[in-house]
Amino acid sequence: MDTLRQSPSPCSSRPSSPRTPPFEMFGPVGIEAVLDQLKIKAMKTGFEFNIMVVGQSGLGKSTMVNTLFKSKVWKSAMPSLEVPTPQTLELHSVSHVIEEKGLKLKLTVTDTPGFGDQINNDKCWDPVLGYINQQYEQYLQEELLITRQRHIPDTRVHCCVYFVPPTGHCLRPLDIEFLRRLCRTVNVVPVIARADSLTIEEREAFRSRIQQNLKTHCIEVYPQKCFDEDINDSILNGKIREQIPFAVVGADQEHLVNGRCVLGRKTKWGIIEVENIAHCEFLLLRDLLIRSHLQDLKDITHNVHYENYRVIRLNEGSGAVAQVVERSP
């Protein structure tokens, strides 16, 4: 498994897009109808999206997932003295089918209770890396079958949302080591958790220091600059990169504000509106994960991260076969 963790930088292995010049046509032939065909097929089959949330206990991971998809995807455990802190990192996954306007999305969320909660957090990233590689391995084994399924179930992690504690200082050594290792294996989107505990000035200073930490340690979080395919991608993703990590607040309860119901957290100072960009950047995170980059997250997972894993595994297999041939009389 150590070999798999030292995969090449994802930016070096994404296939380039074909740049074939347009062919001169004498009139329309109905190519635009392909979009209708794709839409009909998508309505029938639906989509799969697998997300992992990583961070210490108490940072609002479960609430954030519920807020993102406006449903009870994950039940938040109420804090209790009777519930002990996990002694080791455990991974729990839950799947739901979400339907909106006839389109179905099979959502799988993987949580990592126990991450960073121990006195000794040495190699606490190993179970996370192991789980991600295990999903790649399952997909690879299905691909290698002589008789394959028409649709291979996709359990590969398309995005890992990493919750940074709102310390207001900089990334901890644990954060840096985790991000450095995982960015080569999966799409990672860091967020500042419970951002309402920081003032706006503290939030911006914290974001600036985190961005500097990422640059200093050569950590490329999603969206990676090397994957921008054209000027439009560069403009859109450039704005996103300037705002990462997003400062987010999660809430799954509605409150009445000026005659309208809003998602938010109620404090004695007022209501923190989750979907108000003046209060937090939850909308930016939701737009990135769902409305603008969901398919791109899946494409990079398949064409880059999974491809890196597949190449390493097949090279290992060919090496084993070569050794057997050399030893045979």
- The residue assigned the tokens 């603008």 is 292
Tell me: pLDDT of 159 over 80.
yes
Dihedral of CA 215/179/302/250: which sign? negative
Which tokens is 204 given?
A: 């911006």
pLDDT computed for residue 323 by the predictor: 47
215: helix, strand or coil: helix
**Pairwise pLDDT comparison (122 vs 75), residue with the higher score:** 122
pLDDT per position as a tens digit, 99-149: 888 888 899 999 988 787 776 677 888 999 999 999 999 999 999 998 888
Note whether 158 and 49 are within 8 A (CB). Answer: yes
Cα 110 from Cα 95, distance rounded (Å): 9
Stretch 254-279: mean pLDDT:
85
pLDDT computed for residue 8 by the predictor: 66
Q: What is the pTM of this model?
A: 0.85
Tell me: pLDDT of 2 over 60.
no
pLDDT computed for residue 123 by the predictor: 82
**Pairwise pLDDT comparison (303 vs 149), residue with the higher score:** 303
Superfamily of domain 37-75+86-311: P-loop containing nucleotide triphosphate hydrolases (3.40.50.300)
Give 308's pLDDT tier (boundaries 50, 70, 90).
Answer: very high
pLDDT computed for residue 256 by the predictor: 83
Give 305's pLDDT tier (boundaries 50, 70, 90).
Answer: very high
pLDDT computed for residue 16 by the predictor: 60
Which tokens is 2 given?
A: 């150590």
Domain ranges of the chain: 37-75+86-311
Stretch 229-237: mean pLDDT:
90
Q: Virtual CA dihedral for 128, 194, 176, 134, nearest 10 degrees?
A: 10
Tell me: pLDDT of 10 over 80.
no
Tell me: pLDDT of 288 over 70.
yes
Give 326's pLDDT tier (boundaries 50, 70, 90).
Answer: very low
DSSP string, 137-176: HHHHHHHH-SS--SS-------EEEEEE---SS---HHHH
Stretch 271-286: mean pLDDT:
91
**Pairwise pLDDT comparison (158 vs 262), residue with the higher score:** 158
pLDDT per position as a tens digit, 21-56: 666 767 778 888 888 888 888 788 888 999 999 998
Cα 54 from Cα 116, distance rounded (Å): 9
| Mean pLDDT for all residues in the chain | 84
* 290 contacts: CB under 8 Å, gap ≥ 6: 68
Helices (H) and strands (E) in the chain, counts: 10, 9
